[in-house]
Amino acid sequence: MTTPFGRLPRFVVAAPSTGQGKTTVATGLMAALRARGLAVSGHKVGPDYIDPGYHALATGRPGRNLDPHLVGESLVAPLLLHGAQDAEVAVVEGVMGLFDGRIGGNGFSSTAHVAALTQTPVVLVVDVSRSSRTIGAVVHGLATYDPSVTVAGVILNQAGSPRHAAEVASSVRLPVLGTIPRDASLATPSRHLGLVTAAEREESAALVAALAERVTACVDLDAVLDVARSACDLDVAPWSPDVVSPPSPARPVVAVAAGPAFTFRYAETTELLEAAGCDVVPFDPTADADLPVGTSGLYLGGGFPEVHAEALAANATLRDRVRSAVAAGVPTVAECGGLLYLCRTLDGAAMVGAIEADARMVGLTLRYPSVTAPADSLLGRAGEVVTGHEFHHTTVEPVTGLAPTWVVDGEAVGFGSASLHASYVHTHWAGHPQLAQRFADAVHARHAGGTGG
């Protein structure tokens, strides 16, 4: 079933704070609605790559991100419609508490901000395990705090007993769409960057199936769909990757790092590269012996290379191949995990060695900055400002080479050249399509010169 232009049943899953069960409930709702035979599109507020992995398992289609900081306010609704093309309902998982956004930004990029930009009703997930009637006051405050946000219903999570649930429900002045009892077996595991990625969890499919069963049993899905159908039509056109164009009729290969160590990239990145005339071919640095045939560009996104350092180090054949490709001038973009992979070592384990730096585990760095290009590079142009994010528990020494890629909070960082752009900064190319175009242009030029990897 195709959704008419601008018409998209949808709802946002939000909460008073982190740890209330948003991901568990949102993923369960996606899977439960899909099990009903609906085409479901999953979306995540903010830059996070991990939750969309669960959404993809639940819906059978790519998880998507909605982030005003990364792409600008005007693109949020178009990206929602683009990601939800041919879907019958869209489920948007929020981030942190409903009104928590960029620090100092007065709620910018919060779940409430995205709900307002997309005119999407909100379903609150509230952990009631440590309270009862006070939950009514919390819900009332969230529902009335900002008139631009419509809180349409509540799902009570972690209820201790039917009596406890009834007491909480009697205090809430909004429709209670479901009550989910305590069940530790449905908790998702954590690690230093948050949830374990869906690609790594051995029994991810079984977990998602269990979530669907629990949500179906405990939540009124018809009432949830009524909330979704109450959403107004959106008077915007869907975003299109055709904002870039192929510089030649050729189809050069861009090798994209994948597998368990490299799971972080936005779906729109692939779509933009394909629209710019490239063939995107994944490869697994932990297992593959060579780059894809005809590689004319490398895209090394984020992930958990520190967790898979032993396997990456053991694959010396591919490390040599990547090092040779970078040295030969194959256009290469490396973000965060990709940067670590290109270093000489990562916590003592041998990496590619294309960058004269070493990486090691340290404390958390979390930034949501605007960054400036200090000079022309593979991606940036001198003085150009783009938005990005950083979220990592490693550092590299030194922090930059002879040609920094970005200036972040007054500090020059990253490693660049005419054919290399490596840094911790993640960017969303839908918000900055010129970056995708420049990379594709370089890949096409490399291919035309007959000097693929």
The per-residue DSSP string of 41-79 comes to EEEEESS-SHHHHHHHHHHSS--EEE-HHHH-GGGHHHH
Tell me the chain's radius of gyration from C-alpha atoms. Answer: 22
The answer to pTM > 0.85 is yes
Q: What is the pLDDT of residue 195?
A: 46
Question: Which one from 218, 278, 336, 343 is the annotated catalytic residue?
Answer: 336
| pLDDT at residue 82 greater than cutoff 70 | yes
Q: What is the pLDDT of residue 405?
A: 97
Confidence of residue 193 (pLDDT cuts 50, 70, 90): very low
Give per-residue pLDDT as tens, 48-71. 888 898 899 999 999 999 999 999
| pLDDT at residue 200 greater than cutoff 60 | no
Domain 10-229 falls under CATH 3.40.50.300: yes
Phi, psi for 173 (deg, rounded to 5): -95, 15
Environment class of residue 411 by beta-carbon count within 10 Å: exposed (0-12), middle (13-18) or buried (19+)? Answer: exposed
> If you average pLDDT over residues 136-156, what whole number do you get?
98
Amino acid at 270: T
| pLDDT at residue 179 greater than cutoff 70 | yes
Q: What is the pLDDT of residue 2?
A: 45
Architecture of domain 241-448: 3-Layer(aba) Sandwich (3.40)
Domain ranges of the chain: 10-229, 241-448
**Is there a catalytic annotation at residue 343?**
no
Query: Other CB atoms closer than 10 Å to residue 450's CB: what's the count?
Result: 7
| pLDDT at residue 191 greater than cutoff 50 | no
> If you average pLDDT over residues 161-167, what whole number do you get?
95
Percent of the residues in the chain that have a pLDDT greater than 90, as a whole number: 84
> If you average pLDDT over residues 128-144, what whole number do you get?
97
| pLDDT at residue 296 greater than cutoff 80 | yes
Confidence of residue 435 (pLDDT cuts 50, 70, 90): very high
